[in-house]
Amino acid sequence: MMASVACIGECMVELRQAQGGASAGQGGGLYSRGFGGDTLNTAVYLARLDVKVDYLTALGDDALSDEMVAAWNAEGVGTRRVVRLAGKLPGLYMIQTDGKGERQFFHWRDSAAARQLMSLPETDELLNSLMSYDVVYLSAITLSIYDAAGRERLFGAIKRARLLGTRFVFDTNFRARGWPDRDIAREVFATAFAAADIVLTSTEDLLALHPGESHDQLMARIPTPELVFRLPEPVSLLRYPGGASEVRAEPMTQPVVDTTAAGDSFAAAYIAARLAGAGPVEAAQAGHRLASLVICYPGAIIPGYAMPPKKRHRPAAPRQASK
């Protein structure tokens, strides 16, 4: 049976300044519309890497939500766990770029459908379904859109699923604007670390919560058995049962165009490789390869023809329930 992944999160409508639009501060300008979300990006790349993946979120009953579902289905991302809410809309964010190419983000998401996912009549069924997946993947951005009760409900379901062998992968994708304060974020991160089987993190994320700490100090905060710690340079420090390694990305041969979704694509390639039987080092190498390719194209999702050739791994070990 093909391994399966549940990605939980939010996808929003994206307004991006179009070519020739007015620069920030001048008003007006043309914008192109798309969709974006960190865990959705990971889900798309997982599907392209032949992993069976479902996206778990809530959307409205509007035309934009219809477009999202159709686009995800076209990419091979499963939408059977997408809850549709009457009268609601997806969130929206806008990207403005100044004359130097620096980006600024503006969000409208306080009443977005996805924020209600942990407090719906369908929530129990959705959370019980997590036990049927090999991996549950979510990010800190996912956790930031739920209230404390919703996060507790989600963590409880993840812990129950782990008892039956589901693995929990947590990506620390930290955005300060999504949290009331950093103390709450630190508490939620600690809970996620304690529950996770694999943590994907970076100095950028952790130093925002624990300024001035060394790599060793930051890694010591994460008790999970398998840890991928990305440095500012294209290097990952790995810790896993029985060892630790440093994995460097291969030198870039093309110019960097857009770093959007570098971490999201790394996560997808890492998870796909681990599910296919690769060890942590080989999985990190796959993550760096895909991320290095993604940043050579504009936007979060690169053209399908640009995806790297698929690599065969040895068969994955069957899932085992936690003791």
Q: What is the set of active-site residues?
A: 264
Q: Please tell me the distance from the alpha carbon of residue 25 to that of residue 96, in angstroms, as a whole number.
A: 9
4: CB partners within 8 A, 6+ apart:
51, 52, 53, 54, 132, 133, 134, 135
Q: Are 321 and 163 in contact (CB under 8 A)?
A: yes
CA separation for the pair 197, 323 (Å, rounded): 14
Backbone φ, ψ for residue 43 (5° rounding): -60, -40
Distances (CA, A) of 138 to 78, 88, 167, 242, 288: 16, 23, 12, 26, 20
